[in-house]
A and B are shown apart, each in its own frame.
Chain A
Amino acid sequence: MSGYILKRMLFMVPLLLGITLVCFFVMHLAPGLPTDLQTQMNPKSTVEMKERLKTMYELDKPVHEQYWSWLKKLSRGDLGISFSSDHRPVTAKIMERLPITIILEFLSLIIIIAIAVPIGVLSAVHQDSIFDKITGVLVFIGFAVPTFWLALLLMIFFGIHLGWLPISGLRSLNYEYLTPWAQFIDLAKHLVLPVFISAFGGLAGLSRYMRANMLEVIRQDYIMTARAKGLSERDVIYKHALRNALLPAITILGLSIPGLIGGSVIFETIFAIPGMGQLFYMSVMARDYPTVMGILLIGAILTLLGNLIADVSYALADPRIRIS
């Protein structure tokens, strides 16, 4: 098993190189330079200044040289210095935001599992019941709802109309003066909408998938055997069937990670959450190449790791699967 994991990790290296190569070239071949954005707004800027900026950011060199020097820095764990006015190292900028995004994604994964699995199982067990039909319609709509629109509606309803939940940021202005318990409540209140919105995209997919799995498992011979030997329906469903239906869902969760990360751009921007998605959006708008490249790389690593963890845990959970 450890050999397999090692091999997969090694395979990730060329994959990551390919991804960074594509991103780097696409970004740099696109017309427009980050220095344009910084000088256009300044009426005092001269051509000379523009050139000096270009030299400072090494943008005057050919693209392949820029990529090579980016790679060399990367091998030392250095993602370069941000082009934005704070001129901080990209690694530091990402690291202070990454935990927020990861915690949010993790919470929404838990929500997805906690809601989608029971829905999928129940609608399969009671196939064609009213519950199944209603969830079927909801799932179908769930696939089609633009999540950012749902975020707006929930903000209007719960945040503005009812005034129950805060609609931006992670903390209230008076956070520092609250008791620890009140701080926790404050944080939790700020998290409700972002976590729900982030989870929403995955809910429909996983519940439909669980339903299909469960329907297939229920028709298997070993389920009939379990019934035949007189087990209660409860045991048949929740001990024998559920376990087998849950297994393939692990893979789906691994595959849903790119979507979650991509979605973080939208909901972190909407809810003004200082996470990686918001940083990405701001860096993209400011044409901050080093930061954009850094986040793309981290996003790709997270995705690949997620896939690996999914594959490995699938193998660990199902002894019938042998990986070599």
Chain B
Amino acid sequence: MFHTRWRIRELEFLDGINMNFWETFYKNKLALTGSGIVLLLFIVSLLAPLLAPYDPGQIDLRNVLASPSWNNLFGTDQLGRDVLSRMIWGARISLKVGFAATGLAIIIGVILGATAGYYSGWVDAVIMRFVDIMLCFPTFFLILAVIAFLEPSIWNIMIIIGLTGWMGVTRLVRADFISLRERDFVKAAKTIGASDLRIIFIHILPNAMASILVAATLGIAGAILTESALSFLGIGVQPPTPSWGNILTSGYANIDIAWWLSLYPGLAILITVVGYNLLGEGIRDSLDPRLKK
């Protein structure tokens, strides 16, 4: 939340934007629920070795596809591994992929969006045409095509999801820059001879942080969904590394016997995505109450 605080100070240049971010945020029950879920996920990922009742890779062939019981709360998979333990470790994967992929998308989006919005003219035209090309393309097809030809690994997945998810951020940042660059404080900075780089990163960018932060929070949710779909199709995180998506693959393979393999990991994805979405919308509503529906 450091960024938010820092942003609020910068925001004093802008009129009409809510200065009492925390006050509004604390009153927003949905936003608090969202932050609770996200916080819980962080704790679970951090403490995975302590929380998981079993070793997630421990195979027990005498206890294959056991239904949920006190010994294995969420049952076991086709190799007798404890599903709950695998899910707890899987939380780490989804967190890593979500943050890394979104981080990459934000970096690309900010650089391209800032360039397009600040300089306008042909630079803007070229960048925005490129955005159009990327947007009018079935992204999931592209991700699949690329990832299947690369060695499927967690790193490649982060990179590919990031490389195909920056278009929205570019548009947002560009729009912010176009309106912000006409502000008096930018003109003032120019007058005293600040360089373009300085104006872009020190003066304008902090003021565009609100929409970036919101886009990032919602982007993490999207990246987690994409990762789980890829892992489900077998081209994401590879077994034996546990991820929510690849537990669902064994759920699909054993669909007629083991419902618990399908139900719980998907529920974890759903709750995680709901958490990030609530948090994102909460931040947006608190930063700028005018955006509230």
Q: Is B27 an interface residue (CB 8 A)?
A: no
A-B interface contact total, Cβ < 8 Å: 125
Main secondary structure on A side of the interface with B: helix
| Interface stretch (choices B48-56, B209-217, B261-269) | B261-269
Kindly state whether residue A106 has any CB partner on chain B within 8 Å: no
Q: Is B21 an interface residue (CB 8 A)?
A: no
Q: Min CB distance, A236 to chain B, in Å?
A: 22
Q: Are A146 and B136 CB-contacts (below 8 A) given A212-B293, A269-B233, A280-B144?
A: no
Within the complex, the shortest CB–CB distance from A77 to chain B, in Å, comes to 22
Contact A265 B141, beta carbon cutoff 8 Å? yes
- Which B residues lie within 8 Å of A266 (CB)? 140, 229, 232-233
CA–CA, A283 and B259, complex, Å: 30
Cβ-based interface call for A160 (8 A): yes
Would B146 and A26 count as touching, CB distance under 8 A? Answer: yes
Measured between beta carbons, the chain A residues less than 8 angstroms from B150 are 30-32
The answer to whether A146 and B233 have CB atoms under 8 Å apart is no
Q: Is B145 an interface residue (CB 8 A)?
A: yes
B102 within 8 A of A: no
Which residue on chain A has the smallest CB distance to residue B218? Answer: A143
Choice from B146, B255, B270 contacting A144 with Cβ under 8 Å: B270
CB atoms of A292 and B145 under 8 A apart: yes
Q: Which of A32, A141, A261, A281 interacts with B270 by CB under 8 Å?
A: A141
Task: Out of B248, B263, B274, name the residue touching A148 (CB < 8 Å).
Answer: B248
Is A284 in contact with chain B by the CB < 8 A criterion? yes
Interfacial residues of chain B within 133-178, with CB under 8 A of chain A in the complex: 133, 135-142, 144-146, 148-151
Q: Is the CB of B136 within 8 A of A15?
A: yes
B285 to chain A, nearest CB (A): 14
Residue with the highest number of chain B CB atoms closer than 10 Å, among A30, A145, A148, A296: A148
Interface size class of B (residues with CB under 8 A): 35 or more
Query: B139, A262: Cβ atoms under 8 Å?
Result: yes
**B228-258 Cβ-contact flags toward A at 8 Å (1 or 0):** 1100110100000000000010011001100
Residues on B with C-beta less than 8 A from A292 are: 145
> Is B32 among interface residues, defined by CB-CB distance under 8 A?
no
Number of interface residues of A (CB under 8 A): 47
Contacts of A258 in B (CB 8 A): 135-139
Contact A303 B137 (CB under 8 A): yes
Asked if residues A18 and B138 are in contact (CB atoms below 8 Å), the reply is no
Judged by a CB distance under 8 angstroms, whether B273 is at the interface is yes
CB nearest to A303 among chain B residues: B136
Chain A contacts of B138 at CB under 8 A?
Answer: 258-259, 261-262, 299-300, 303
B277 is an interface residue with CB less than 8 A from chain A: yes
Which residues of chain A are within 8 angstroms of B269 by Cβ–Cβ distance? 146, 149
Query: Which of B132, B141, B235, B256 is the one whose CB lies under 8 Å from A262?
Result: B141
CB-CB < 8 A to B259: which residues of A? 156
- A19-B133, A140-B274, A146-B225 are known contacts. Are A261 and B141 too (CB-CB below 8 A)? yes
Say yes or no: A32 contacts B151, CB within 8 Å: yes
Contact A152-B255, Cβ < 8 Å, known A299-B138, A303-B137:
yes
Report chain A residues within 8 Å CB of B135.
Answer: 258
The answer to the question of A205 belonging to the interface, with a C-beta cut-off of 8 Å to chain B, is: no
In the complex, A287 has a CB within 8 A of chain B: yes
Return chain A residues, CB-CB under 8 Å to B144.
265, 280-281, 284
Decide yes or no whether B66 CB sits under 8 A from chain A. no
Q: Interface code A278-313, partner B: CB below 8 Å = 1, 0 otherwise? A: 001100110100001001100110011001000000
Q: Which residues of B contact A259 (CB under 8 A)?
A: 138, 140
Residue of A nearest to B269 (CB): A146
Interface residues of A (CB under 8 A from B): 15, 18-19, 23, 26-27, 30-32, 140-141, 143-146, 148-150, 152-153, 155-156, 160, 167, 212, 258-259, 261-263, 265-266, 269-270, 280-281, 284-285, 287, 292, 295-296, 299-300, 303-304, 307
Residues in B lying within 8 Å of A, measured CB to CB = 132-133, 135-142, 144-146, 148-151, 221, 225, 228-229, 232-233, 235, 248, 251-252, 255-256, 259, 262-263, 265-266, 269-270, 273-274, 277-278, 293
24 contacting pairs across A/B (C-beta < 8 A): A15-B132, A19-B133, A30-B149, A31-B150, A140-B277, A144-B270, A144-B277, A145-B270, A146-B229, A148-B248, A149-B228, A152-B251, A156-B259, A156-B262, A167-B255, A258-B139, A262-B138, A285-B148, A292-B145, A295-B141, A299-B137, A299-B138, A300-B137, A304-B136
What are the 8 closest A-B residue pairs judged by CB atoms, nearest first?
A262-B140, A149-B266, A144-B273, A30-B149, A284-B148, A262-B138, A258-B138, A152-B262
